[in-house]
């Protein structure tokens, strides 16, 4: 019988364990995984901006109309002839606050100015006129969908006032998004949204342009945690009437990888680039 060298066996076992651990470590946070996370973040961010833009449009228009109470279906800046939106306001006038506003897009689908299809209801509690610094809008949802992505959660929009002739709002969002494929993205964000151009139409709100700074964190559709920070020198820019960001860059960190997501030079398209370990490739954004 051959003698067994216990020390040799232990050494081999240690080497195999170290090798497998190293191999497993290298598979954690693959390029494909961080790319998928970047796409999930981009989609959640776009859906958030869609909601904020929608609320801006209806609340600001209601404010301009003296918060007149609406009790029946009305045509509200519709793209397609059959689309209607029901807006209700519990208190009329410009002096009585807080106000509760509901915007009902129905169940068949309303196509908005960005080309997104909205369903369900948004509930907004307005603390004061949004021209008053410190005033807030609390946003909740009921069976609300954007392009068949179910949006749940809360958003708080606070008016900061005007700096260098530009108004800005702080936005805190705590969202859960159930996507068309059944997967879920959890998205928490703290941002500042600054109006940079009113397109020469100060009383039309949907066509305004905004620069967005701040950060977010969450859980992607595969259950992995991540963080995102918007580049301070390249804020996200959204242009009224377009469903995607047209420029700006964000740094996304998940597991042991980081990626730079860049929305481009201002061109209205559904594309972005992602850079991982110095390698850049084009990606198509999700709606």
CB-based contact 123:109 (threshold 8 Å): no
CA 98, CA 92: separation in Å to the nearest integer? 11
Closest among 242, 239, 237, 243 to 263, alpha carbons compared: 237
Looking at residue 69, its pLDDT comes to: 65
Q: CA-based diameter of the chain, in Å? A: 99
pLDDT for 61 equals 87
- Residue 161 contacts residue 194 (beta carbons within 8 Å): no
**What pLDDT, on a 0 to 100 scale, did the predictor assign at position 6?**
39
**pLDDT per residue rounded down to tens, the chain (287 residues):** 434 443 433 343 333 333 333 333 333 458 888 999 999 999 999 999 999 999 999 999 888 888 886 544 444 433 333 457 999 999 889 999 999 999 999 999 999 989 999 999 999 999 999 899 999 999 999 999 999 999 999 999 999 999 999 999 999 999 999 999 999 999 999 999 999 999 988 888 888 999 999 999 999 999 999 999 999 999 999 998 899 999 999 999 987 889 999 999 999 999 999 999 999 999 999 98
**So what's the pLDDT on residue 15?**
38
Q: What is the pLDDT of residue 29?
A: 55
Q: How far apart, in Å, are the Cα atoms of 93 and each of 71, 79, 96, 98, 132?
A: 15, 29, 7, 11, 16
């Amino acid at each position: 019988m051959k003698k067994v060298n216990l020390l040799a066996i232990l050494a081999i076992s240690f080497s195999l364990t170290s090798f497998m651990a190293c191999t497993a470590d290298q598979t954690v946070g693959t390029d494909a995984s961080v790319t998928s996370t970047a796409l999930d973040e981009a989609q959640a961010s776009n859906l958030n901006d869609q909601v904020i833009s929608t609320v801006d449009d209806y609340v600001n228009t209601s404010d301009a109309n003296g918060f007149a109470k609406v009790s029946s279906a009305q045509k509200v800046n519709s793209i397609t002839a059959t689309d209607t939106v029901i807006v209700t306001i519990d208190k009329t006038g410009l002096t009585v606050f807080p106000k509760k506003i509901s915007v009902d897009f129905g169940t068949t689908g309303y196509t908005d100015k960005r080309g997104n299809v909205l369903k369900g209801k948004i509930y907004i509690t307005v603390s004061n006129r949004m021209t008053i610094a410190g005033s807030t809008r609390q946003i909740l949802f009921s069976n609300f969908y954007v392009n068949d992505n179910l949006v749940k959660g809360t958003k708080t929009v606070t008016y900061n006032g005007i700096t260098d002739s530009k108004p800005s709002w702080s936005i805190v969002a705590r969202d859960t998004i159930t996507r068309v494929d059944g997967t879920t993205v959890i998205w928490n964000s703290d941002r500042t949204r600054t109006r940079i151009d009113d397109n020469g139409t100060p009383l039309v709100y949907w066509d305004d342009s905004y620069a967005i700074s701040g950060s977010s964190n969450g859980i992607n559709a595969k259950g992995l945690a991540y963080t995102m920070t918007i580049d301070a020198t390249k804020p996200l820019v959204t242009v009224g009437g377009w469903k995607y960001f047209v420029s700006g860059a964000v740094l996304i960190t998940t597991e042991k990888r980081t990626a730079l997501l860049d929305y481009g030079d201002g061109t209205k398209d559904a594309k972005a680039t992602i850079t991982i370990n110095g390698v850049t490739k084009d990606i198509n954004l999700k709606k």
